[in-house]
Each structure stands twice: as C-alpha cells, then as structure tokens.
Amino acid sequence: MDRNSTSSTTAPDTAWLGRGRHLGPEPEQDVRRNLIALKAAGVLDDFLDLDPVEAARSTALHPRDESADPGPSARRLFEARWRVAEDITVRAQLVTYEPEARRKEGEGVTWVLAAETALTWDARWPSPATMFWPDSDRVAWDHDTVPGVRLRTTNHLPKEDDQLRHRLRDCTRHSWYIHVVVHEAMTPDGRGQRPVSAFLPPSLRHRVVEHRGTPEQAQIVDFAMKRELGVRMPRGGAVVLPTAPPSPEYAGERFTVGNVFLDGSEQTELLARITEFAALPRPLQGDAERALTRLRQGWHLLTPEEELIHAQDMVTKYAEALDAMTSSRDLYREAAEAAREALAETSVRDGLPQSPVTGATRADTSPLSALTKAFGRFRDPNK
C-alpha cells in the first residue's frame, strides 16, 4: 500500500474516508460481531463478508478496472448498507490488509474504510467507523497509521525535539485525519484530560486526532511547529494543523485559538475551527482515491431493485451481442454467395470447367470451405 502518493483531485464532499490500524488479535471477528449486532438491531439494512479474491472475480454493479481490486495483501472485504435521514442510502466498504513484512511485530492490521452517499455528507450522521468497529475502548481499532497516535483519546507529544518534529511531519503528510494540537497551560484534572474532540458531531469525531503538549513544552512545540509547518503554538491555546501540501484556503491565524479551557466543558471556538477546516477542499491521497474507486466500481451488496436493473442490463447486452453475431454471419454469407457468383461468371467467360453444385451440396458446404475451394482453382495451374 502506497501511503505517500497524492492525487491532483480533491476528496468529494459526498464521501467519508478513514484509515487506521487494529492492534487486537482478531480484527475481522470484531467487525463481524459488530455488523451482525447492528443488522439484528435494524441499524444496518444488510452487509457482506467477502474473500477479496472471490470479490474481485464476482460480478459488480459497474464495469471494473484494476484499481477497483483490493490488492494481493488484502485479508478481508466487508460491505455494509444503511440509511440516514430516513431515505438516504449509505454504502461503505472496509478492507483489512496483511501487515507489511518490514513492520515490527505487534503493530497491528491496517484497515481502509470508504463510505459515500448521493448527497453532501452531514457530520451529524452516524460515523461509518462505528458501523464496522464497536465503539468501545476495549477494542483497539482506532490507531492511526502514524505510530503512537490514536483516535478517541489525547496523545501527548514526544519530549525530544527530533521525535516531536518527526511526529508533526508524519501526521501532516501521511495521515488521513485532521490533527489538532492543544497546549496545556497547566496540568488538567481528570475532566480536562477528556478529549476536546469528544464534543464534535459523530461523523467528524472519528476524523480528528487530538495531540497535547504539556505546560513545560510550550517553547519547544512552538519552535517545532513554526519550523516544520509555518504555524505558531499559543501558550494555553490550540492549532488545527495544515495538510501537506496545505490547502490554498488554509491560514494559520484562522485556525489558531488563543485560549482553550481544559475543564471538561465544550470549547465552542475550537470546535468551530475544526468544523471549518473539515469543510476545506482536501487532496485525495493515492490509497484514498483507490478506496473510493473500489467502493464505486467494486460494489456487490445490491438492493433487489439494483439486482433487477443489473439483470435487465445484462439481458440487453447479451441481446445486442447476439444481434451483432447474427448480422455478422448474414453479411459473411452474402459475401460468400457474391464471391461464388463472381467465380462462376469468370469461369464461363474464360471457358473454365464448372462443377455442378446441387442444393444439397450447397447446404452441406460452409461458405468458407466453398470460397477456399474456388480460390484453389486459380492457384492450381492444371485447372
């Protein structure tokens, strides 16, 4: 999986994209249990649990291309369909991947999730992540592909300068998530340790990673962010980090909040900045673009109406192919008859002997063999 490539296209506002790592022993089993429970509860309309090889061979709704296949390292492919706002259908795919050989043991299984609707995605809709993964802290599905970073919690920045700058670079270049850095003006109590992002709407909550800098890290964090990203870190404030490359509409001052009160209350200004950042055009990374293509062109979980339309399309295509074959056969037969007539006229004009052809012989002789024999007379000098 190429994690560093970027695309010239931007992510559509109809899609929800996520990528992470599951550090538990049975990631696919966790997905199955959650899907079964949500379907039984009526949350999901339906779901599929597919082998990636079989999924690539099976018939999908749209013509497939190579980019729609999950790839040789895919472990399992899941599809789910549910409805939001009563009648809007959401289609989503989650693929789990074998760890790369160079990864250290215990770094988990990578997963990629893509969901899409026909309308602009609403952050108030349920998070696609919790349609596949259980929304429980006991299931470690929510680790970013950047080591040491996790959703649904606060992530304290490294103490050493080199590790800190490395963390900032990786989060802005390789992660699919929105990253927010909050500086603790003083060490917060238990309520203040709760992530500020917990107040975000469901679909946006699982797109945000929250980092924390300790009180004594004020200068080192500010220096590292200014050097690596060109933004400043106010003491006791917060910054929404830019992507790499940054969006033309991003301005560091616009997405900086001077004061964040870590007392467990809702930080309205910071949440507004995060929501505004989430609405900016965002370039599609290579894996994200392939995941979206796979969702659109490699979809298998058809509704009865879609299956009927698909069957009708197949009948129409087969009928067109049969008509084309029939027309080709008729044209070939007419060409063969014309060739025989031309050969007969040539034989009469040149005084060549003609062999009588009865109706029975015509019926038993294919146009190709008759044409071959006729031309054979001209190739043989004795005839």
**Tens-place pLDDT, residues 242-298:** 998 888 999 999 999 999 999 999 999 999 999 999 999 988 888 999 999 999 999
SS3 string, the chain, reads CCCCCEEEEECCCCEEEEEEEECCCCHHHHHHHHHHHHHHCCCEEEEEEECHHHHHHCCCCCCCCHHHCCCCCEEEEEEEEEEECCCEEEEEEEEEECCCCCCCCCCCEEEEEEEECCCCCCCCCCCCHHHHCCCCCCCCCCECCCCCCECCCEEECCCCHHHHHHHHHHHHHCCCCEEEEEECCCCCCCCCCCCHHHHCCHHHHCCEEEEEECHHHHHHHHHHHHHHHCCCCCCCCEEECCCCCCCCCCCCCCCEECCCCCCCCCCHHHHHHHHHHHCCCCEEEHHHHHHHHHHHHCCCCCCHHHHHHHHHHHHHHHHHHHHHHHHHHHHHHHHHHHHHHHHHHHHHHHCCCCCCCCHHHHHHCCHHHHHHHHHHHHHCCCC
Report the candidate in 293, 17, 8, 1 with the shortest Cα–Cα distance to residue 176.
17
What pLDDT, on the 0 to 100 scale, is given for residue 69?
Answer: 80
- pTM for the model stands at 0.79
**pLDDT per residue as tens digits for the range 345-359:** 777 776 666 555 444
pLDDT in tens, 113-160: 999 999 999 999 999 999 999 999 899 999 999 999 999 999 999 999
Confidence (pLDDT) at 360 = 44
Q: Of 7-16, 148-157, 241-250, 300-309, which has the strongest mean pLDDT?
A: 148-157
2-6 average pLDDT score: 50
pLDDT score, position 317: 67
Which has the higher per-residue pLDDT, 82 or 369?
82
Q: Are 339 and 331 in contact (CB under 8 A)?
A: no
User: Do 165 and 228 meet the contact criterion of CB atoms below 8 Å apart?
Assistant: yes
The predicted-structure confidence for 66-84, as pLDDT tens digits, reads as follows: 666 888 899 999 999 999 9
325-348 pLDDT, tens digit per residue, is 787 877 888 888 888 888 887 777
Q: What is the mean pLDDT of residues 29-58?
A: 93
And the tokens for 118? 């026909």
Q: What is the pLDDT of residue 363?
A: 45
Confidence grade of residue 163 (pLDDT, cut at 50, 70, 90): very high
Average model confidence (pLDDT) across the chain: 86
User: pLDDT, tens digit, for every residue of 82-97?
Assistant: 999 989 999 999 999 9
Instruction: Give pLDDT, residue 70.
Output: 87
Residue 337's pLDDT is: 84
Please tell me the predicted confidence (pLDDT) of residue 62.
52
